[in-house]
Structure 1
Amino acid sequence: MAYSPEIREAAKRLYLKRWTPDEIRDDLGLPNNRIIYYWADKHSWRDLLREEEVDDAIARRIAILVDVPDKSNNQIKELEMLINQHVRLKKQRVDAERKAAAEASGEHHSEQSSKVAAGDGGSGSKGGGKGKGSRKAKNDISQLKPEDFEAWVDSLFDYQKLMRDVKNDPTKPRTRNVLKSRQIGFTYGCAGEAFEDAVLTGENQIFISATRAQAEVFRSYIVKTAWEFFEIELKGNPIVLSNGAELHFLATSASSAQSRSGNVYVDEYFWIKDFKKVSAVVTACATQTRFHKTYFSTPSAKNHPAYPFWTGDDWKGDNKTREFIDFPTDAELKDGGRVCPDKQWRYIIDVETAVAMGCHLIDPAELKEEYSPEVYANLYLCVFVDDSASVFKFDALSKLMIDATKWQDFKPGEARPFGNREVWLGYDPSRTRDNACLVVVAPPIVAIEKFRCLERHYWRGLNFQHHVSEIEKVFKRYNVTYLGIDTTGIGAGVWDIVHTLHPREAVAIHYSNENKNRLVMKMIDVVEANRLQLDQDMKDLPAAFMAIKRGMSNGGGMMTFKADRSEKVGHADGFWALSHAIINEPINYLHQRKSSWSIPN
């Protein structure tokens, strides 16, 4: 029985979504499942599945390395290698899918073969191919045409294609404003579309990121995309193409972009401290109507200076005629985006929608287990933190977030990242999930120094032996002089072993209302005195702090602090782990407390 190309393509898509042959047979109304196995063997669908598993592992490792402050040379090389492999796998998958589609429709490669024989390498060998002695001059994009980008477009997920379509649609506004989940490939998509725009229009592209590391990731994706899809070698920083287009990769130093003009991409703008200053510079860079502006970010808190920019309140201002103009709802913004009254195209893409639109690299169910509900909602469901009821305010927390590359004495890529300087550890087992968090904190040794969170680790599973083995790895890398362990639940098993191995360092923390209040009061003191530094890439920690709220004790007799509205203190793992480490410094240390908090008896 002959099957149409459409049926074969539909079967392939379901197979790559990991449907079973029986499920594919039933969904497509096929007489049996043998044809599914036949197609999978003939067209190497199993190989594509294996590539996706590798792709998933690479994406996770890239995300981890991006978060590492002050990367070592080896880590930088590894990041570049992984990005290279990530782009290469996307190119290989596109090629395999195109070949399978051509075979399914009865097409052959005679046309391609004739092109090669005639000296035209086609889309796989731009400008004379990749053979030795025929490599093109660096940054030479003179041979690229719009149709040459088709293979790269095929590598995009549907929401990335939507972004590109909006950019290229002359009826849409020139400002795109996107609220997004973490780690869904926005950097890859925006980097590729910016390169395409620079090649086809000759316009400059300016990338402004919340961190220098993220700016370098932008550059790496463009360099690797140009090589893997077009076999063009790009060099320089900024990258200057042969048509004169310049690609600038900048951190949040707004002054460095003031004299430039072009299309502007602002990455993670809800985590930029001087957002209004940066936004003013961005507007100046893209003053001319032919330039577009793209803002995208995971959300932070509602009192961030960028929040009115997102909601449209900045545009409304004190203008009475605009006061009651409605903006699209979040549900509408998730449904393909909307053009808003202030002439911005807004779009919300959370992790669950991204997965539904083709992103196979993420398992939302796994993320829900790894993070507390508040942190998961903030980082992956595009929910802003409302700190109005929180003990810790975003304004105060944002002052703690710094570029960790300034820590010259911390070398995370080395066997002893902090030399022989002492560190304190804090361990918190979740009480409502099978998670745990460990933080590594550098205590101040002179008055001018601050506490610094060097590392944080999240572990999933109830195997406390695994947690102990991971803690032991930290002991081997650092000079640990203190470990505060919450002995609730799984923490009791961890405590029994760790205390035996390190009796002088390990200290048990038994939770009670009094002890819990003591932990939070110490953290209030440290935060309000600005005595703590957090790497600005550790975005889960501010969300954990803002999950701490005031409440009444179970008996209702006194005020206490809780991590959610239930009676369990099971969320905000990162906050509690930090408090378990920092409580090693006495509350009444020689420092005049600025906090006005008090706990009535």
Structure 2
Amino acid sequence: MHLAQANPDSEERAVSRQVGRAQRREARSLYWRGWLLTDIADELALNYNTVASWKNRDRWDDDPPIKILEDRLEAKIARYLDKEPFTAGDMKIVDFLMRQMERCARHRKYSETGKEGDLNERVAARNDDKAKAKRADKRRNFLTLEQWQALLDDFHDRNFEYQELWWEHREERTRKIRKSRQVGATWYFAREALAKVAEAVLSGVGKEKLALDEVPRNQIFLSASERQALKFRREIVGWVRRVTGVELKGKIIMLDFVGQYPEDEEGEATGPALDQIGFYFLSTNSATAQGESGDLYFDEYAWVHGFAELNRVASAMTTHKIYKETYFSTPSVKTHQSYEFWSGEEWNKGRPRANQRPFDISYKTLRRGARMPDGSWQ
């Protein structure tokens, strides 16, 4: 096999360039130590004009103090490393000088970025990706943006057509839904409540602030029994576990949004600060089913005892217009208190005859949903 012959001229030129760079750096180092140009030229056996040209071209006088300090440290480290014999004491000095070099490098990086983590290694350790991931694992009821998106995608992938119709009307002030049994309403509305939160969180990406009606809201589930109310909780916890692997905790599920939006290159959050919200699972005991405000889901309302009083309490939870009410149930009997609420009799009661309006609650009208005179969607 033929081997290429080394070119002696090329090797000499390479050595000459290395020597020139070393002399140039040594000349700069001596200048920073206070030497005059004439003394530097004599010390390094160089032409004075050459040294003066280096000084002007490389702008030695404009370099920041941190760079001058790094040069001095490098010179000291090199001197100790070339020392014979090299003792354990010398090693300690070199180790100390190397740590000072690291500090200089951090100061230089900090002057470029302004990030405290570049100046303080402890802060950097707290803010690196590994530390953030570890904290996220330990956090209670926290979901990342990616996990919120995964939940929203899975929600729509598994919905039936009629459930997507319910979703389209999620922002109605009041929804009244009559359903048949075993249509997955509990399963759907448990997921819908969390999907609305996911939608709100994701809408904040890139924004400084969300409008009051755009922020995540408390979600309240009111059922005929505690057992039924906790079924909503089981549906939510199981869904989140299946899709994201996160285990939501607490009888009341309080969602944590601190650090929800990652920081940009300048250390600024890429979304608004969000307040903590809760998922409340209540039974129809009017003494306990009050005190919270949020979006309300009233399950099997046509079967609860004392509906009129419970509905008064429930309505107090949604006083502000930003909160939404959803009533859903299988039909019961016309003598139940809820029937007047469903049929419009309650709304028309006490109104002058001229101001009363009929509620068309026929199957044909309500099959795809309709707006009633009281403003509700049925």
Q: TM-score range by the shorter chain?
A: 0.5 to 0.7
What is the SS of the residue equivalent to 2:164?
helix
CA shift for structure 1 position 160: 1.3
Q: CA deviation at 1:253?
A: 0.9
How far 1:161 sits from its partner (Å)?
1.3
Residue 255 of structure 1 is aligned with which of 275, 278, 287? 287
Identify which of 221, 227, 247 aligns with 1:213. Answer: 227
Report the equivalent of 2:340. 308
The alpha carbon displacement at 1:259 in A equals 1.1
Distance in 2 of aligned mates of 1:340 and 1:136 = 48
Q: Does 1:190 align with 2:172?
A: no
Aligned to 1:138: 140
Q: What SS does the aligned partner of 1:256 have?
A: coil
Higher strand share: 1
Rounded to whole Å, the distance in 2 between the matches of 1:133 and 1:240 is 17
The answer (yes or no) to whether the contact 2:173–2:325 under 8 Å persists in 1 is yes
Gaps of 5+ in 1: 1-126, 347-601
Q: Which has the higher relative contact order, 1 or 2, with Cα contacts under 8 A spaced 6 or more apart? A: 2
TM-score by length of 2: 0.53
Aligned AA (2:152) = F
Q: State the 1:334 CA deviation.
A: 3.8
Q: Does the alignment pair 1:155 with 2:158?
A: yes
1:71-99 Cα offsets, whole Å, 9 max, x none, are xxxxxxxxxxxxxxxxxxxxxxxxxxxxx
What is the DSSP-based 3-state SS (H/G/I as helix, E as strand, rest coil) of the residue aligned with 2:139?
Answer: coil
User: For 1:363-383, what per-residue CA distance to the aligned partner results, in whole angstroms no more than 9, with x for missing partners?
Assistant: xxxxxxxxxxxxxxxxxxxxx
Question: Any gaps of 5 or more consecutive residues in structure 2?
Answer: 1-128, 201-214, 258-275
C-alpha contact 1:179 1:296 (8 A) present in aligned 2? yes
Answer with 1 or 2: which has the greater Rg.
2
Q: C-alpha separation between the residues in 2 aligned to 1:345 and 1:204?
A: 21
| Kept after mapping to 2: 8 A contact 1:137/1:233 | no
Partner of 1:164: 167
Equivalences for 1:21-420 in 2 at 5 Å?
Answer: 135=137, 137-143=139-145, 144-145=147-148, 148-168=151-171, 173-199=172-198, 200=200, 201-243=215-257, 244-321=276-353, 325-346=357-378
CA distance in 2, matches of 1:167, 1:300: 25
Per-residue Cα deviation, 1:471-501 (whole angstroms, up to 9, x for no partner): xxxxxxxxxxxxxxxxxxxxxxxxxxxxxxx
Q: Could you tell me which amino acid in structure 2 is paired with residue 288 of structure 1?
A: H
How far has the Cα of 1:146 moved from its partner? 5.0
Distance 2:349 2:223 in 1: 27
Query: Which amino acid in the other structure matches residue 270 of structure 1?
Result: A
Q: Tell me: CA distance 1:315–1:134, structure 2 relative to 1, closer, same or farther (3 Å).
A: closer
1:301 is paired with a residue whose SS is coil
The separation in 1 between residues aligned to 2:331 and 2:371, in whole angstroms, is 20
- Given that residues 176 and 342 in structure 2 are in contact (C-alpha distance below 8 angstroms), is that contact kept between their aligned partners in structure 1? yes
Q: Deviations over 1:532-553 (max 9, x none)?
A: xxxxxxxxxxxxxxxxxxxxxx
Q: Which amino acid aligns with 1:157?
A: F
Query: Structure 1 residues 180 and 227, CA, compared in 2 at 3 Å: closer, same or farther?
Result: same
Q: 1:249 to 1:322 in 2, by over 3 A?
A: farther
The whole-number CA distance in structure 2 between the counterparts of 1:334 and 1:321 is 25
CA offsets per residue over residues 322-372 of structure 1, 9 Å max, x none?
6652222422344211011111100xxxxxxxxxxxxxxxxxxxxxxxxxx
| 1:119-178 alpha-carbon deviations (Å, 9 max, x no partner) | xxxxxxxx99xx99984633102424457511221111111111111014xxxx310001
Residues 258, 148 of structure 1: alpha-carbon distance in 2 compared, 3 angstrom cutoff: closer
Counterpart-to-counterpart distance in 1, 2:185 and 2:166: 9
**CA separation in 2, counterparts of 1:263 and 1:301?**
27
For 2:122, the equivalent position in structure 1 comes to none
Decide whether aligned partners of structure 1 residues 142 and 322 sit closer, same or farther in structure 2, where only a CA change above 3 A counts. farther
Residues 447-458 of structure 1 aligned to structure 2 (within 5 Å):
none
Say if 1:332 and 1:338, in contact at 8 Å, map to a contact too. Answer: no
| Root mean square deviation, CA, Å | 2.5
2:157 is aligned with what amino acid? D
Matched-pair contact (CA < 8 Å) for 1:139–1:234: yes
Partners in 1 of 2:299 and 2:361 — Cα distance?
Answer: 23
Compared CA separation, residues 162 and 265, structure 1 to 2 (3 A): same
User: Contact between 1:268 and 1:296, CA under 8 Å: does it hold in 2?
Assistant: yes
* Residues 223 and 326 (structure 1), Cα distance of their counterparts in 2 relative to 1, 3 Å cut: same
Q: Retained in 2: the 8 A contact 1:271–1:300?
A: yes
| CA displacement at 1:232 relative to structure 2 | 2.0
| Contact 2:218/2:293 (<8 A) preserved | yes
Q: Is the 8 A contact 1:208 1:267 kept in 2?
A: yes
Q: 1:260 to 1:132 in 2, by over 3 A?
A: closer
Query: Any idea what the Cα deviations from partners look like across 1:397-436, whole Å, max 9, x if unmatched?
Result: xxxxxxxxxxxxxxxxxxxxxxxxxxxxxxxxxxxxxxxx
* 1:271-301: CA deviation from partner (whole Å, max 9, x where unpaired): 1111111101111100000000000111111
* 2: CA distance, partners of 1:333 / 1:297: 18
CA 340–138 in structure 1, closer or farther in 2 if over 3 Å, else same: same
Q: Does the Cα contact within 8 Å between 1:270 and 1:298 map onto a contact in 2?
A: yes
CA contact under 8 A between 1:198 and 1:205: conserved in structure 2?
no
1:305–1:242 CA distance, 2 compared to 1 (3 A): same
State the 1:203 CA deviation: 0.7
Over residues 539-589 of structure 1, what are the superposed CA-to-partner deviations in whole Å (9 max), with x where a residue is unaligned? xxxxxxxxxxxxxxxxxxxxxxxxxxxxxxxxxxxxxxxxxxxxxxxxxxx
Distance 1:313 1:323, change over 3 A: farther
Distance 1:322 1:311 in 2: 18
Question: What whole-Å deviation, never above 9, does each CA across 1:36-63 have from its counterpart, x for those lacking one?
Answer: xxxxxxxxxxxxxxxxxxxxxxxxxxxx
Structure having the higher helix fraction is: 2
Write the letter of the residue equivalent to 2:175.
R
Change (3 A) 1:231 1:305: same
Give distance in 2, aligned partners of 1:194 and 1:148: 12
Stretches of 4+ aligned residues off by more than 6 angstroms: 131-134
Contact 1:316 1:322 in 2 (8 A): no
Give distance in 1, aligned partners of 2:150 and 2:235.
20
SS in 1 for 2:170: helix
Equivalent residue number for residue 43 of structure 2 = none
Give, as a single letter, the amino acid of the residue that structure 1 aligns with 2:139. A
CA distance in 1, matches of 2:190, 2:249: 15
| Structure 1 residues 214 and 148, CA gap change in structure 2 (3 angstroms) | closer
